Structures are given as structure tokens and as C-alpha cells.
């Protein structure tokens, strides 16, 4: 499940759809983990956009953060970080 809190960043519906397409891999990996909840918070700080993600699942909690001048770059960077960390967490569950 994904919870998106856009804060003071205005996103069009097409931009939300684009965000979901970037998070597809994270959702696939998360579906393999139990009790998967992804919370994304976006805030504009001056000329930058700060994006924070917190993942709760049965293995623990993951926190990622990205701060860029453009919301697209920040979310793309965040999606890469999340997929990398979730993949590592999934591999850890397979090892146990």
C-alpha cells in the first residue's frame, strides 16, 4: 500500500500516474514482503523539493530521503534508492 502526502507540492493527476510507474518495481518487491506500507512525503523547501519515504514491513523499517531542485529528479532518485534497499531486504528474507 502507498500513502502519498504531497504537502505543499502541487501534482497533477498525470504526474501522480508517472510517480506510480516509477514505483512499480518497489511495489512488486513489496508485495513479496509481508505487511508492506510505503509512505511518501513531499515538501517544497525554498527552491528545492524534499521527498522522504518510510517503508514499514515485517522485516523492519527503511527510510530514504532525496532533495533536488526538481520534483521529478527527487522522486526518480528516491525510487532508485527504495528499489535498491527493498531488493536487499528481500534477499535477506530469502537467506533466513
Is it the case that residue 96 has pLDDT exceeding 80? Answer: no
pLDDT confidence of residue 37: 92
pLDDT confidence of residue 41: 93
Cell of 59: 522485516
Q: Quick one: which of 61, 64, 66, 65 has its CA closest to 89?
A: 61
Q: What is the CATH number of domain 2-95?
A: 3.30.160.100
State pLDDT tens for residues 8-57: 888 899 998 998 899 999 889 888 888 889 999 999 989 999 999 999 98
**12 DSSP 8-state letter:** -
Phi and psi of 92, rounded to 5°?
-65, -35
Per domain, the residue ranges of the chain are: 2-95
| Torsion angle of the four alpha carbons 77, 66, 52, 27, in this order, in degrees rounded to the nearest 10 | 10
Amino acid at each position: 500500500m502507498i500513502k502519498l502526502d504531497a504537502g505543499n507540492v502541487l501534482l497533477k493527476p498525470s504526474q501522480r500516474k508517472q510517480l506510480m510507474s516509477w514505483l512499480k518495481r518497489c511495489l512488486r518487491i513489496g508485495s513479496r514482503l509481508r505487511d508492506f506500507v510505503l509512505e511518501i512525503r513531499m515538501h517544497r523547501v525554498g527552491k528545492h523539493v524534499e521527498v522522504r519515504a518510510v517503508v514499514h514491513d515485517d522485516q523492519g523499517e527503511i527510510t530514504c530521503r532525496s532533495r533536488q531542485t526538481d520534483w521529478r529528479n527527487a522522486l526518480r532518485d528516491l525510487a532508485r534508492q527504495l528499489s535498491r534497499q527493498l531488493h536487499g531486504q528481500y534477499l535477506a528474507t530469502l537467506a533466513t
